[in-house]
Amino acid sequence: MRRVAVAGSAVALLVGALVLIFVVVKANAVNLDGIQCVIHTEAPALPETSHDYKGGKIYFCCFGCPVKFDRDPKVFATRANLQLVATLQARQHQCPLSGRDLDKTTEITVAGAKVAFCSGTCKAQVEAANGDDQINLVLSDEAFERAGFKVEKK
């Protein structure tokens, strides 16, 4: 009888531990719906190909892409920054063009990432740009730093 009670307690402990692990993993999971690979921007990013970057995680389409990224991360920095913002890991604190305080009413979406500006003038400058030029204006390493984007720990 005593063995059954000990075995039952062990099973209960194991189930509890598994539930806790699931909850922690789920809470830290990044939503990759619509998120593209940093290297092959036409391919979807996969959760099993994550890579540490600026305090967060970036994702790739295959296991070869992180190797390419590591060879020259500066080449792919803008796309990696885009991913950090689009996955809501990095939070913006200043205007990416001027470095001034944000006016939340100026928020727009740039390639899937929500970005705000200090004024309608900065917003209009970004809206007038297209494609990669628009992304570079707000998410190049210089703009990312000027905007005070930070990955905030949960």
For 14-60, the pLDDT digits (tens) are 555 444 344 333 445 899 999 999 999 999 999 999 999 999 999 99
Residue 3 to residue 8: CA distance in whole angstroms: 8
pLDDT at residue 95, as a whole number: 98
% the chain with pLDDT above 70: 81
* β-pair partners for 58: 51
pLDDT at residue 153, as a whole number: 78
Mean pLDDT of 71-78: 96
pLDDT at residue 106, as a whole number: 98
Prediction pTM value: 0.80
Could you tell me if 53 and 89 are in contact, meaning their C-beta atoms sit under 8 angstroms apart? no
Could you tell me if 92 and 104 are in contact, meaning their C-beta atoms sit under 8 angstroms apart? no
80-94 pLDDT, tens per residue?
999 999 999 999 999
H or E element that contains 83 = helix 73-86
Please report which confidence band the pLDDT of residue 112 belongs to, taking 50, 70 and 90 as the band edges. very high
Could you tell me if 122 and 101 are in contact, meaning their C-beta atoms sit under 8 angstroms apart? no
% the chain with pLDDT above 90: 79
Domain edges within the chain? 93-151
